[in-house]
Structure 1
């Protein structure tokens, strides 16, 4: 199920839609990196190409993280 989420990025509110497994994985990644979830989202937002949307960038980040940290 896709849910809308909100975050403050560089002082402005934005929203994005993510499936629950991606949201849970983002939270786990932020915990494993010992950073706030909001900080992780800002990092991903800052690194994404200007023509991409935040929801897609978050999903790609999760996929890349999982691939890079396989056992």
Structure 2
């Protein structure tokens, strides 16, 4: 995971349930998402699909950020 300095915003396309969509996240969140996927033996696409199926907020990018934040917060508790 990157330091808390400047993190470029990166837009990436993903396919969720056969529908192509995109998420715009700071690189640090993409890195965190990749780390979580690796820990779970999943792909980033699989993880994004899981987040999409379970999200409560209307914005996909926000849902991913909250998921990554929650994961690392839980890991430190």
Question: Where in structure 1 do 4 or more consecutive aligned residues deviate above 4 Å?
Answer: none
Matched, 1:34 2:65: no
The equivalent residue for 1:66 is 72
How many pairs does the alignment contain?
70
Superimposed CA distance per residue, residues 16-69 of structure 1 (whole angstroms, 9 cap, x where no aligned partner): 1000000000000000011111100000011112x5210000000000000111
- RMSD after superposition: 1.1
Q: Secondary structure at the match of 1:69?
A: helix
Matched, 1:25 2:32: yes
Q: Normalized against structure 2, the TM-score is what?
A: 0.86
Gaps of at least 5 residues in structure 2 are: 1-7
Q: Normalized against structure 1, the TM-score is what?
A: 0.93
Cα separation, 2, equivalents of 1:69 and 1:25:
12
Gaps of at least 5 residues in structure 1 are: none
